[in-house]
Structure 1
Amino acid sequence: MSHRDPAGEPRSEDAKPSQLASTLLAPGDVIRGHWDNLDRPVKWLAGVVLFGALALLPLYTPGFIDTPGISFGGTMAQFVMVAIIAIGLNVVVGQTGLLDLGYVGFYAVGAYTVALLTSPTSPWNQVGVEGFLSSDWAWLACVPLAMAVTALSGLILGTPTLRLRGDYLAIVTLGFGEIIRLLADNLSDITNGSRGLDRIAYPKLGEREGLPNGVFSNGNSGGDANYGTWWFWLGLILMIGILLFVGNLERSRVGRAWVAIREDEDAAEVMGVNTFKFKLWAFVIGAGIGGLSGALYAGQVQYVAPTNFNIINSMLFLVAVVLGGQGNKLGVIFGAFLIVYLPNRLLGVHLFGVNLGDLKYLFFGIALVALMIFRPQGLFPVRQQLLAYGKAARKLLRSADDSKAAA
């Protein structure tokens, strides 16, 4: 008869040796084990050092991780945008267990909100004398607007559809993503159709004689501190704020309700959890975060078109969450890094006359197949993190019992 601990996991003495070996040698387990055993102030200090080193990476790039075919600063700017998307999608998919295949639609809504309000080719342009947006602060003012509009679209979509589950919800969200793309392609009088909207506003900072449009403009293309690096720094600040926000939600009643819904929605509802309300919260919060990343994309590229928001990109966002570990914030950030960095690193690398950078979908497909066979919970699964909290709680209870016995 097998013995189980209160978290439902087999005890180490009952586990098979092969299972123990695979657990010990699994990627990320050792790092996560050390991290879980650290005190909270030490974790904060380690986080400050880690993100500080990450911020300096474009300026002091080691040769072995540099991307020779493209600017490393631009690669990191793309990474931080995808990381923000992955965090938002992780709220929906990883923490609440809702399968969303059309998350790129929220990304598109955020990007088009900024584009429609700031592009000179938009009929809704509000920059300048006749509009309500200042030319210097237009992009910054549009960021909260983009998040609000995207959150509202999540509310409109989620209210009638979140009573569905599983494959049915996945089909509905997939349709939403395609509807947004088709609307952007066919509403030519508003979105300029397939031609897209250009000259979108961006932050005006650091304007000087050599850089009349500031450090965030694409004219700042030389050196390590180019416009890609500045966009990376801005996105990193926003990503840290989102991590703190989502982390606080995880430790609150809302986060516990999300976990209960993910593990067993019927049991959670029987225990008194208003599953529809908390699922809608997750959908709206995830949508708002996706809108923020869309605003970053629109400002950095200064051009949006329907082709940038196809279903393939939505699948790549989901791959980042699955690779990193569903429910683990830092894990999905690592997954986003792999999604962005590997194709750019292999760009221009030829093997048997084939550019390896063009085979990213093949590589990610193989990686997913291998992951589902050997590591279905992802590289950094959240389940172990939850068990770590359970172990800490049991240790605290045992120490309380020992103190009572001693008294």
Structure 2
Amino acid sequence: MAIGAYVSAVFTIFLHTPFIVSLIAGAGAAGLLGFLIGVPTLRLEGDYLAIATLGMGEIIRICILNIPQVGGASGLSGIPNETTFSWLFFSMIITLFVIKNILHSNKGRACLAVRENSIAAEAMGINITKTKVFAFTVASIFAGLAGALFSHYFGIAHPSSFTFMRSFDIMTMVVLGGLGSISGSIVGAVILTFITAAMQSYPEYRMIVYALLLIVLMLYRPNGIFGSHEVAALIWGKWHKRGEKDGAVVENK
């Protein structure tokens, strides 16, 4: 997010580009950096991969903190407030459309196979590293887009907005909604946003609530609220089963 926020802000403030161009520049720069970081780090697995990716995030933040041309520790202010609800909604629809199409492509199915069982996927001829790099790059592009929208909403890009806690918040949203569920992640984001808003008067207890929430999830719903299922599919499935049950009752009568 930090790369998308700063690159888009630089394009808007110093190059005076239209908002859409700044968004594309921020997303593209984040995707490129994600690819460059992913090539060496995604050969790792497990805890080592988590440490490497989190470490790179902190390195990027510290580098930005020490670049005076983009505000340094003071951040980059004076960014036009271009992000509106319409832009957010449009960006969400585009993101959902692209992700859905990727998931139904060969690359997307390869990503799903690696997620479910990397050993079996490799045995079937899927290049694990290339697939991970592809997924990481796509995720970086959309993270960059989110960062660009973020900076143009608040009018400032500051290093303190992109700490480890931001990554933890996003991870919690995904885990809460359901690992492997796009709509579940949206539901998780909504729930967590409401919790954060409700606890504005008690910020010191926010992380305690997050930790308890994650513990409860790990005990009772380890794959999140919706797991790998989409919300619409679950609703349709229940409605369809109810319709079949009602039809069977009518026939019996």
Among 182, 201, 219, the alignment partner of 2:80 is: 201
Match of 1:365 in 2: 211
**What aligned pairs does 1:228-247 form with structure 2 within 5 A after superposition?**
231-247=84-100
* Whole-angstrom CA distance in 2 between matches of 1:384 and 1:183: 39
Among 149, 166, 178, the alignment partner of 1:313 is: 166
* Whole-angstrom CA distance in 1 between matches of 2:42 and 2:131: 10
2:6 matches 1:109 = no
**CA-to-aligned-CA distance 1:312-357 (integer Å, 9 cap, x gap):** 111111000000001100000011111212221343xxxxxxx345
Whose Rg is larger? 1
Q: Match of 1:382, SS?
A: coil
Instruction: Work out whether residues 27 and 141 of structure 2, in 8 Å CA contact, stay in contact via their aligned partners in 1.
Output: yes
Match of 2:50 in 1: 170
TM superposition score normalised by structure 1: 0.55
Instruction: Work out whether residues 183 and 230 of structure 2, in 8 Å CA contact, stay in contact via their aligned partners in 1.
Output: no
Match of 1:268 in 2: 121
* Whole-angstrom CA distance in 2 between matches of 1:143 and 1:179: 23
* Whole-angstrom CA distance in 2 between matches of 1:284 and 1:295: 16
Instruction: Give the direction of change, closer, same or farther, for the CA distance of 1:279–1:193 in structure 2 (3 Å limit).
Output: same
Match of 2:251 in 1: none
CA offset at residue 247 of structure 1? Answer: 0.9
CA offset at residue 358 of structure 1? Answer: 4.7
Give 5+ residue unaligned stretches, structure 1: 1-106, 120-124, 128-132, 204-215, 217-230, 348-354, 392-407
Matched to 1:361, the amino acid is M
Among 145, 150, 155, the alignment partner of 2:25 is: 145
* Whole-angstrom CA distance in 1 between matches of 2:134 and 2:230: 25
**CA-to-aligned-CA distance 1:101-134 (integer Å, 9 cap, x gap):** xxxxxx0000010122233xxxxx112xxxxx3x
* Whole-angstrom CA distance in 2 between matches of 1:268 and 1:255: 13
Instruction: Work out whether residues 323 and 371 of structure 1, in 8 Å CA contact, stay in contact via their aligned partners in 2.
Output: yes
2:235 matches 1:382 = no
Instruction: Work out whether residues 345 and 357 of structure 1, in 8 Å CA contact, stay in contact via their aligned partners in 2.
Output: no
CA offset at residue 383 of structure 1? Answer: 5.9
**What aligned pairs does 1:211-290 form with structure 2 within 5 A after superposition?**
231-290=84-143
* Whole-angstrom CA distance in 1 between matches of 2:154 and 2:168: 21
Matched to 1:300, the amino acid is Y
Give the structure with the larger helix fraction: 2
TM superposition score normalised by structure 2: 0.87
Among 291, 297, 303, the alignment partner of 2:144 is: 291
Q: Match of 2:216, SS?
A: helix
Instruction: Work out whether residues 181 and 230 of structure 2, in 8 Å CA contact, stay in contact via their aligned partners in 1.
Output: no
**Percent of pairs with identical residues:** 34
Match of 1:180 in 2: 60
Paired residue total: 234
* Whole-angstrom CA distance in 2 between matches of 1:151 and 1:378: 27
2:12 matches 1:118 = yes
**What aligned pairs does 1:78-93 form with structure 2 within 5 A after superposition?**
none
CA offset at residue 232 of structure 1? Answer: 2.6
**CA-to-aligned-CA distance 1:299-318 (integer Å, 9 cap, x gap):** 11111111111101111110
Instruction: Work out whether residues 65 and 72 of structure 2, in 8 Å CA contact, stay in contact via their aligned partners in 1.
Output: yes
**CA-to-aligned-CA distance 1:61-102 (integer Å, 9 cap, x gap):** xxxxxxxxxxxxxxxxxxxxxxxxxxxxxxxxxxxxxxxxxx
Instruction: Work out whether residues 184 and 230 of structure 2, in 8 Å CA contact, stay in contact via their aligned partners in 1.
Output: no
CA offset at residue 370 of structure 1? Answer: 0.6
* Whole-angstrom CA distance in 2 between matches of 1:346 and 1:274: 45
* Whole-angstrom CA distance in 2 between matches of 1:370 and 1:377: 12
Matched to 1:360, the amino acid is R
Instruction: Work out whether residues 114 and 200 of structure 1, in 8 Å CA contact, stay in contact via their aligned partners in 2.
Output: no
Give 5+ residue unaligned stretches, structure 2: 238-253
* Whole-angstrom CA distance in 2 between matches of 1:250 and 1:170: 24
* Whole-angstrom CA distance in 1 between matches of 2:117 and 2:50: 18
2:70 matches 1:191 = yes
Match of 1:402 in 2: none
CA offset at residue 201 of structure 1? Answer: 3.0
* Whole-angstrom CA distance in 2 between matches of 1:331 and 1:280: 24
Match of 1:86 in 2: none
